[in-house]
Amino acid sequence: MIQPVLKDLTITGNPNIYGKLQFTETEDIGDDFCLFGTAGIGEEDSIGEDNFDFVIITPKALAKKLEDGKQIILGAQHFIVNKLDFEVITETINQILSKHQGETWEEVAISLKPYFSWEYTDSVRLTVEELFEMIKEESEKGNE
Among 17, 19, 21, 93, which residue's Cα sits nearest to residue 54? 93
pLDDT of amino acid 125 = 62
pLDDT of amino acid 20 = 83
Is the dihedral angle over the CA atoms 107, 108, 111, 113 positive or is it negative? negative
pLDDT of amino acid 134 = 75
Question: Which residue ranges of the chain lie beneath pLDDT 50?
Answer: none
CB burial readout 111-132, b (16+ within 10 A) else e: ebeebbbbeeeeeeeeeeeeee
pLDDT of amino acid 77 = 93
Whether the Cβ atoms of residue 22 and residue 8 lie closer than 8 Å to each other: no
Whether the Cβ atoms of residue 109 and residue 96 lie closer than 8 Å to each other: no
pLDDT of amino acid 96 = 98
Say what the pTM is: 0.81
pLDDT of amino acid 34 = 93
Alpha-carbon gap, residue 58 to 142, rounded angstroms:
54
